[in-house]
Structure 1
Amino acid sequence: MTAPDELAVLKTLDPATGADPQSPRAQATLHRILATPAPPPARRHSRWVPRLAIGTGLVAAATAAALVLPSAVGGDQAFATWTGTPSGLTGKAALDASKACRDNSDDQYKNQLATAGTAIAERRGVWTLVVLADRKGFGALCITDRSRHLFRDQFGAIGTTTDLPAPRALTPVTLGTGSSDGHDLSVITGLAGQDVTAVSYASRSHGKVAASVSAGQFALWFPGDELVNANKTGVPVQVTYTDGTAATLTLRL
């Protein structure tokens, strides 16, 4: 029986229609409807739920994650491996991470992805972060949980910005908090001026979080929702320059 048919039959059981809901025919119809099996519940996909503020020209990107429990493929254990200071990816590991980022990013940007270089390739525990970029403001960010053997979460942002930074400035393009498998990640990425050599954030929960800074890009992330309102309140970061001086910059999109 289709949904419209069921609705029509249910209306016949409404006392306002004049039908007797206690009649044998009405009772038989009601029992038939109640005996109809309910459709199975939809399977719940674990997905990156972006609550990030994304800079002009950038869009959040998401890939479907596993249809299995997070604890079986990463989850808490993966987040527990995170480190405040990243280690650089080199050799085959860097090539593989960059290729995965290109292959899983939005096909709309396939031409830019094909020519973009790997600006940043880092590891924090079992997690990798890759930034692909060119000299025209295009960038693609991918953060991946490498502990997942059956399925791997990969998420981030992609697009182009024309807001290039001054030599001693930063242009954030991703700023805020996103969620995956019920866990929150706080992320800051963007473009770094040519005089910027280091960027760090003083996290309330994790202490000093050092960014990777390379090829005119910077990127850092850490577990938790600390940056959920960052675009409204502003985020202070510490910046070091080529001349050895330092400053605090407040980032907003």
Structure 2
Amino acid sequence: MSAPGELAALKTLDPSTGADPHGQRARATLHQILTSPGPQQPIRRPKRWGPRVAIGTGLVAAATAAAVLLPSALGGDRAFATWTGTPSGLIGSARTDASNACRDNSKSGHPDYNNQLATASTAIAERRGAWTLVVLADQRGFAAVCITDRSKHLFRDQFGAIGTTPAAALPAARALTPITLGTGSIGDHDLSVATGLAGRDVTAVSYVSTSHGRVAASVNAGQFALWFPGDELLNASKSGVPVQVTYQDGSMATVRLKL
């Protein structure tokens, strides 16, 4: 439908109004209408794709998403329906497969880290429903993180981060050094992620989510990792987020993670 201004201008071309449709004014009006961009349309901002995670101390975030195919062909855990607040450890071939996939995908996306990836060991390999999280790390501050929907038959969705932490950022015995902290996305869905280094006296870490209740982290080999659906940690890198930490002597404390 034409805009009101265009309707008014069109009347100047109508001979019934007494206007000369071949006159100079009519020709100018016709040119203006034909070259006008028309009524202003609402701005459609591009859909945000990939992670929105605040990355500190050298880690670089990356995400891949499946091509659009029929759900029956791909499978997949829509909207994190199977996610659980308490992870279970991957063992045997499941652990090996998830670790190898993380290593291969990280090498493909970040060839500059191929040497570190070749020698990094699997510090954490957990499952939360259909989703797996793997942390590959070495003793020099390198770490690669992969969160993957393992239920997909083809083109699995994955969130990842990779990099090296400076030696100065290594945590004290009872401290945590967050590396990835914030909100990322896989497809249309947000996920909140907190991973990093754990001091040698740290045995457990958990976070109380307003949407999901208590979320337990995996802690192993000097690394901790937790994640959950939603954008609850969107501003955590700046404002910080409290987590509960348990130590080897059984004592507990609240520690604020912040980049």
Q: TM-score range by the shorter chain?
A: 0.7 to 0.9
Q: CA shift at 1:212, angstroms?
A: 0.2
For 1:160 and 1:92, locate their aligned partners in 2 and report how far apart those are by CA, in whole Å.
28
Kindly indicate whether the alpha-carbon contact (under 8 Å) linking 1:47 and 1:180 is maintained by their aligned counterparts in 2: no
Q: Which amino acid aligns with 1:61?
A: A
Change (3 A) 1:187 1:48: farther
Amino acid at match of 2:196: G
- Are the equivalent residues in 2 in contact too, given 1:70–1:181 (CA < 8 A)? no
Equivalent residue letter for 1:59: V
Matched letter for residue 160 of structure 2 = G
Q: Percent identity?
A: 76
**Aligned twin of 2:128:** 124
What SS does the corresponding residue of 2:52 show, helix, strand or coil?
Answer: strand
Q: Equivalents in 1 of 2:48, 2:103: separation in Å?
A: 19
Q: Which amino acid aligns with 1:177?
A: T
Q: CA RMSD in A?
A: 2.3
Residue matched to 1:50: 51
CA deviation string 1:147-174 (max 9, x = no partner): 1112101221000001100000000000
CA distance in 2, matches of 1:187, 1:69: 29
1:130 alignment partner, SS class: strand
Choose which of 108, 113, 135 in structure 2 pairs with 1:109: 113
Instruction: Indicate the structure (1 or 2) with the bigger Cα radius of gyration.
Output: 2
Bigger mean CA offset, 161-170 vs 147-156: 147-156
Q: Conserved in 1, the CA contact under 8 Å of 2:79 and 2:189?
A: no
Contact 2:182 2:193 in 1 (8 A): yes
The answer to whether the 8 Å contact 2:83/2:131 transfers is yes
Q: What is aligned with 1:135?
A: 139
Task: Measure, in 1, the Cα distance between the counterparts of 2:156 and 2:77.
Answer: 14
3-state SS of paired residue (2:228): strand
Tell me the amino acid that sits aligned with residue 161 of structure 2: A
Are 1:47 and 1:62, in contact at CA under 8 Å, matched by a contact in 2? no
Gaps of 5+ in 1: 1-19, 31-43
Aligned equivalents of 1:79, 1:170: Cα separation in 2: 27
The answer as to 2:254 corresponding to 1:241 is no
The answer as to whether partners of 1:74 and 1:145 remain within 8 angstroms in 2 is no
Residue 232 of structure 2 aligns to a residue whose secondary structure is: coil
Q: Measure the CA separation in 1 of the matches of 2:73 and 2:158.
A: 17
Aligned partner of 1:251 in structure 2 is: 257
Q: Distance in 2 between matches of 1:86 and 1:183?
A: 20
Structure 2 portions without partners, runs of 5+: 1-26, 35-45
Q: Scaled by the length of structure 1, what TM-score is found?
A: 0.79
Q: 1:192 aligns with which of 188, 192, 198?
A: 198
Q: Name the residue aligned to 1:183.
A: 189
TM-score by length of 2: 0.77
Counterpart for residue 94 of structure 1: 95
Partners of 1:183 and 1:211 lie apart in 2 by: 21
Q: Any conservation in 1 of the 2:65–2:186 contact (CA below 8 Å)?
A: no
**CA shift in 2, pair 1:62/1:77, >3 Å:** closer
Aligned residue number for residue 172 of structure 1: 178
Distance 1:212 1:85 in 2: 9
Query: 1:33 maps to which residue?
Result: none
Per the TM alignment, residue 65 of structure 1 is displaced from its structure 2 partner at its CA by: 2.0
Give 3-state SS (helix, strand or coil) of 2:64's partner: coil
